[in-house]
Amino acid sequence: MPETQIKGPALFLAQFAGDAAPFNSLPSIAEWAAGLGYKGIQIPTWDARLFDLAKAAESKDYCDEVKGICAEKGVEITELSSHLQGQLVAVNPAYDESFDAFAPPEVHKNPKARQEWAVDQVKKAAVASANLGLSHTVGFSGSLAFPYLYPWPQRPQGLIEEAFAELGRRWKPILDHYAEHGQDYGYEIHPGEDIFDGATYEMFLDAVGGHVAATINYDPSHFLLQQMDYLAFIDIYHDRITAFHVKDAEFNPDGRQGVYSGYQGWVNRAGRFRSLGDGQVDFPAIFSKMTQYGYDSWAVLEWECCIKSAEQGAAEGAPFIAAHLIETPKSAFDDFAGGEKDEAAIKRMLGL
């Protein structure tokens, strides 16, 4: 089979892991994914049914064992995900009770202990990724300012600036740790995080001094739901994109609701996530731009849909991604009409 620049298809396992086979262990879920045509899997580091993060950070032998299991089943590990732990690096008090569910019971109702646990987890993910021979990871930034997204009541002067300064203070040592281990952290730019669009990513980048490890996990679904130009985003930030979630979405505003979707459940929202091919994201254009700019890492399905089952979405996702992978040309399309470089001819043609 001809090689493609972008690797894939791959599958993020977070939405599929469960207590029943084949979703309750790494060997069985890896075999299931490979059977659907996936070549890679992105592993959620918080799910002990699939992966022991503490052990992976301590033991290269364990990481070699994990890689061996995946290879035997026919898949590679694409990245480690620390989304839930990254979320807890920064939590506005308005979300304390909700986000306690992401952490172990012993740190519930203790924001300081919860944050310390989260930072340790995210740092362990860097070491584990290095032990696995990887260089990219993905996750969330957390949020201090998001409850103040809409400027009413009027925000006190300096509130947003201080929120991003504090976010930078929390993440800079973590990013230093990632760089020391040859890793980067691809922030998924996502509503609910303080980094939710290009402007906020730039604010965060300023707060961490343009840190080389502060990269992007590109997911167009979140941009479509905000009505952003997700293709122009690639033009602007392509040199920072180190990971790619292939996720679809649709936005159907009407006379009752728009971008905020009126507090409705997912089925009735104007903006909602969809299985690949069922939404409005222009994936041929995205894959073209990603290829154009030299993206050569994985295309990873993140499945979220309120209409279609996870099993159907996963089965349809692998061939969908495979069909969008681009085989880059070995020569220019118009080489047949050209010839060898001729300096004398060039000068004659220019009258020189």
Residue with tokens 């993440």: 171
Question: Which segments in the chain show pLDDT lower than 70?
Answer: 1-2, 331-339
pLDDT score, position 332: 63
Quote the pLDDT of residue 329. Answer: 82
pLDDT digits (tens, 9 = 90+) for 62-80: 999 999 999 999 999 999 9
pLDDT of residue 96: 96
CATH architecture, domain defined by 7-349: Alpha-Beta Barrel (3.20)
pLDDT attached to residue 341: 82
Where do the domains of the chain lie? 7-349
Residue with tokens 């979320």: 87
pTM value?
0.95
pLDDT at 3: 81
pLDDT recorded at residue 330? 76
pLDDT score recorded for residue 339:
67
pLDDT tens for 21-64 read 999 999 999 999 999 999 999 999 999 999 999 999 999 999 99
| Model pLDDT, residue 1 | 53
Amino acid at 210: G
pLDDT at residue 244 in the model: 98
